[in-house]
Amino acid sequence: MALESTIITHGMPYPDNLKFANKSEEICRNAGVVPALIGVIDGCIYIGFSFDQLAFICNNKKNQKISRRDLGLAITNRWSGGTTVSATMQISHTVGIPVFSTGGIGGVHRGFNSVFDVSQDLLSLKETPMIVISSGAKAILDIGKTIENLETNGVIVLGYGTNRFSAFYSRETDFKIQRVNAVKKIIDTFKNHRSLGLTSSVLVSNPIPKKYDIPSQKIEKNIEKALKKAADLKIYGKELTPFLLDNILTLSKGSSLVANQALALNNVKLGAKIALALSN
């Protein structure tokens, strides 16, 4: 199963990120699944890091955030850094790994009408046939527009044990999606979708465990403060998402980090079950 690395290089501070990466790999191995943590060191794409490489990438001050469009640049200029959902999907699909687990996908940003910011993750979900497990889309986004984009682009969205789309730190939003209760249904849906020659992904929205849920009213104030700061400082493009996550982490006094890790590890658990069942 594929795992992304921007969550490690740009989503969590050191050494929490290293502990998180180790834990993710351990969950996979205990489930009988080979973890493929994907990232770039010195312009080389790695599908699985050694112990030393992982330690390096977790604490490298020059890490780049590498999305799908950056891959050619990263190789040419010998960058090191984390691959986003879009870059990780591109690499996984190229080498034949069909299942990928992450925290939250990128999507349509708030204020889209003026800033036109849509994550490449949505393009990759449209164009790359995989099963992607996430806790919905990040709460910093415009969830409604993100859902509409997924529908337009033919991405199947399944709610694991729920008929509501998740918003990362919060279990539920008002947006209805197709509920699925069993791993087998996810796999059958993917196979039937593929049998028709369709090349978009199946996105599984797996809610954050109840214990770690942060109700949206609670996190919303912090999101709005972070968005205002980003606008004041004219932060845009690929810098925006890491800036927002970092500011929310500070504003929430670390509780967003705990939630982020809990949901991402929970997604690894579900992803490993899916990967194992698919390979069997």
Nearer to Mn ion, 67 or 206 (CB): 67
In the residue annotation, 138 being an active-site residue is answered as: yes
Tokens matching residue 189: 């849906």
Q: Is there binding between residue 119 and ligand PSU (CB under 6 A)?
A: yes
Q: Is there binding between residue 205 and ligand PSU (CB under 6 A)?
A: no
| Catalytic-role residue among 23, 62, 65, 138 | 138
Nearer to ligand PSU, 98 or 104 (CB): 104
Q: Is there binding between residue 84 and ligand PSU (CB under 6 A)?
A: yes
Q: What is the rounded distance in angstroms from the CA atom of residue 220 to the CA atom of residue 215? A: 9
Site string for ligand PSU, 8-37 (x = CB under 6 A): --xx--------------------------
In the chain the first and final C-alpha atoms are separated, in Å, by: 14
Q: Which of 121, 119, 118 is nearest to 134 (CA)?
A: 121
Q: What are phi and psi of 173, to 5 degrees?
A: -120, 180
- Shortest distance (Å) from residue 155 CB to ligand PSU: 15
Q: Please, what sign has the CA dihedral across residues 26, 58, 43, 71? A: positive
- Shortest distance (Å) from residue 120 CB to ligand PSU: 6
Tokens matching residue 180: 């699925």
In the residue annotation, 4 being an active-site residue is answered as: yes
User: What is the DSSP secondary-structure string of 102-129?
Assistant: -S-B--BBTTHHHH--B-HHHHHHHH--
Helix (H, G, I), strand (E, B) or coil at 173: coil
Residues 100-139 that bind Mn ion (CB under 5 A): 117
Residues that bind ligand PSU (CB under 6 A): 4, 6-7, 10-11, 84-85, 103-104, 106, 119-121, 138, 238, 241-242, 245, 260
Residues that are catalytic: 4, 138
